[in-house]
Amino acid sequence: MTHRLGRTKLWVTLGLSLLILVSTLPGHALAQEADPVKEEALLPFRYVRIWDKPVSVYATPGDPANQTPVDTLLPPDSWVSIDEEVEQDDQLWYRIDDQEYVLASDVLSSPPSLFQGSQIEEQPQHPIGYVIAPELNVRPTAGATNAPVASLHRYDTVDILETVKVDDSLWYKIDEDRYVHGSYVRVIYPVTRPAEVSAEDRWVAVDLAQQVMSAYEGDRMVYATLVSTGRPPFFTPKGLNRVWIKLQTGAMEGGEVEKGDYYYLQDVPWIMYFNKDVGLHGAFWHDRFGYPSSHGCVNLSPKDAQWMFNWTTPQLPFPDTRYVYASRNNPGTWVYVYASSD
Task: Classify residue 31 by burial, with Cβ atoms within 10 Å: 0-12, 13-18, 19+.
Answer: exposed
Per-residue pLDDT at 268 exceeds 70: yes
Tell me, what's the pLDDT at 158?
97
Q: What percent of the chain has a predicted confidence (pLDDT) above 90?
A: 83
| Predicted pLDDT at 6 | 35
Q: Supply the pLDDT for residue 259.
A: 86
**Which long-range contacts (C-beta less than 8 Å, at least 24 apart) are formed by 63-69?**
63/89, 64/103
Q: Is CATH 2.40.440.10 the classification given to domain 194-338?
A: yes
Distance CA 79, CA 61 (A): 19
Burial 33-60 (b: 16+ CB within 10 A, else e): eeeeeebeebbbbbbbbbeeeebbbbee
Angle formed at CA 31 by CA 27 and CA 37, multiple of 5 degrees: 145
pLDDT higher than 90, residue 326: yes
Give the pLDDT mean for 291-320: 97
215-241 mean pLDDT: 97
Rounded mean pLDDT of 60-73? 94
Rounded Cα distance between 147 and 131, Å, is 19
For residue 36, pLDDT over 50 is answered with no
Highest mean pLDDT among 5-9, 294-298, 317-321: 294-298
**pLDDT digit string, tens, across residues 8-33:** 443 333 433 333 222 222 333 333 34
Closest CA to 254 of 268, 240, 242: 268
Q: Is residue 73 within 8 Å of 264, Cβ to Cβ?
A: yes
- Please report, as a single letter, which amino acid is at residue 264: Y
Q: Where are the domains of the chain?
A: 44-109, 125-188, 194-338
What pLDDT is attached to residue 34? 39
Q: Is 81 helix (H, G, I), strand (E, B) or coil?
A: strand
pLDDT digits (tens, 9 = 90+) for 194-214: 999 999 999 999 999 999 999
Q: How would residue 285 be classed by pLDDT, with cut points 50, 70 and 90?
A: very high
pLDDT tier at 261, thresholds 50, 70, 90: confident
Does the domain at 125-188 match CATH 2.30.30.40? Answer given as: yes
Least confident residue range of 28-32, 137-141, 149-153, 324-328 = 28-32
Grade residue 250 by pLDDT with cuts at 50, 70 and 90.
Answer: very high
Residue 102 CA from chain centroid, whole number: 27
